[in-house]
Amino acid sequence: MEQEIKVAIYGATGYTGVELLNILLKHPRVKIVGLTSQSHVGKRLKEVFPFLEGPVGNLKITSDAEEEYDLAFLCLPHEESLELVPKLLNQGKKVIDLSGAYRIKNPQIYPEYYGFQHKYPKILERAVYGLPEIYRERIRNAQLVANPGCYPTSVLLALYPLIIERVKIEKVVITSLSGVSGAGRKPVQHFHFPEMYGDFFAYSLDKHRHVPEMESVIKEIGEVNILLRFSPVVVPTSRGMLSSLSIFCDKVEAKELYNETYKNEKFVRIVLEPPHVKHVLGTNLCLLYSFWDERVKCLQVISVIDNLGKGASSQAVQNFNIMFGFEEDLALNTVPSFP
């Protein structure tokens, strides 16, 4: 039998943590040896999630990982990840951090957008942004992968073909729709079921943490400053994300460009009709639809992902597979449930 990689999941009982567990259970080369969660210490996993049976279900949730392991997935609040990462790196562990603590290269962004000083700028430099379609080679050798946010994943995959081709971009306007799970698992008034049922609304229109994250990656790969107009909207469903991008740029042959850029990618598909969010739920897929609007002189792109899949946990597993030299789609060959 081939060797197993031992992993710990910090923050295992939030939505990204459970999704990660769900995927890793199908992974033939992974052994989960530690689960942490501040809110359920001492319980077995199956007491919190009765649908998680078997060996994993019997694992005890602890406040810190107790057994030796090779890699930690961090599904923690930003501030907790910020402090934990240096400790784990010092112990020689590999880390995939699903928080925003190590995503933005410029530490000066953090006080304004995250409310804390970033005390570890050197580690920030070493962190690799975990969007495999852009940074695959760096991910391969990374000790620390900063797993991208959901909005940035859907947006950057839509912009990447233009940026690497150095297409001149004048303006980018983005409206992104997200299911409610993107807001996390903590119960709050406006996401109480009766109130969110039948509702939808925009939020954080003037300042969203994902904006500097996106602009920072664009700058790094395109050597260009593009200021994004970004409007997120939450819609009344649990999962899924759709980004509508209107890009004013030099005219391009949209479909060819997108097909060419992603021709070798397993998880990015160029589609000929506007894609349905339901067609990617539970998968690591990103579907991209694009066309040149000759009337308005603008490239219109639609990008759909599962916010907890390619937007979080399955992308983390994709990164994991790359870091350990496994087939990139190991445990990720899923088909969405229908209907």
- The residues annotated with a catalytic role in the active site are 150
Which residues make Cβ contacts (< 8 Å) with residue 223, sequence separation at least 6?
none
Per CB under 8 A, does 291 bind a copy of itself? yes
Per CB under 8 A, does 135 bind a copy of itself? no
Distance in Å, CB of 296 to a copy of itself, minimum: 5
Distance in Å, CB of 95 to a copy of itself, minimum: 24
φ and ψ of 270, to 5 deg: -90, 125
Per CB under 8 A, does 332 bind a copy of itself? no
Q: Using DSSP bridges, classify how beta strands 169-178 and 228-234 pair: parallel, antiparallel or unpaired.
A: parallel
Q: Are 276 and 328 in contact (CB under 8 A)?
A: no
- Closest CB to a copy of itself among 102 and 110? 110
Neighbours of 77 (CB within 10 A): 15
CA distances in angstroms from 81 to 35, 93, 122, 208, 330, listed in the order given: 15, 14, 15, 19, 26
Report the distance separating Cα 9 and Cα 149, nearest Å.
Answer: 18
Q: Which stretch binds a copy of itself (CB under 8 A): 97-105, 138-146, 159-167, 281-289?
A: 281-289
Distance in Å, CB of 226 to a copy of itself, minimum: 10
Q: Which stretch binds a copy of itself (CB under 8 A): 49-57, 77-85, 129-137, 159-167?
A: 49-57
Per CB under 8 A, does 227 bind a copy of itself? yes
Distance in Å, CB of 253 to a copy of itself, minimum: 16
Answer for which of 30, 98, 196, 257 binds a copy of itself (CB under 8 A) is 196
Report the distance separating Cα 154 and Cα 309, nearest Å.
Answer: 11
Q: Which stretch binds a copy of itself (CB under 8 A): 108-116, 122-130, 148-156, 193-201?
A: 193-201
Phi/psi-derived region of residue 92, left when phi > 0, alpha when psi is between -120 and 50, beta in every other case: left
Distance in Å, CB of 140 to a copy of itself, minimum: 26
Per CB under 8 A, does 338 bind a copy of itself? yes
Q: 149-188 mask for a copy of itself (x: CB under 8 A)?
A: ----------------------x-x-x-x-xxx---xxxx
Per CB under 8 A, does 325 bind a copy of itself? no
Closest among 120, 98, 119 to 308, alpha carbons compared: 98
- What does the block give as tokens for 24? 């890793």
Report the distance separating Cα 306 and Cα 151, nearest Å.
Answer: 10
Q: 66-85 mask for a copy of itself (x: CB under 8 A)?
A: --------------------
Which residues make Cβ contacts (< 8 Å) with residue 211, sequence separation at least 6?
113, 228, 230
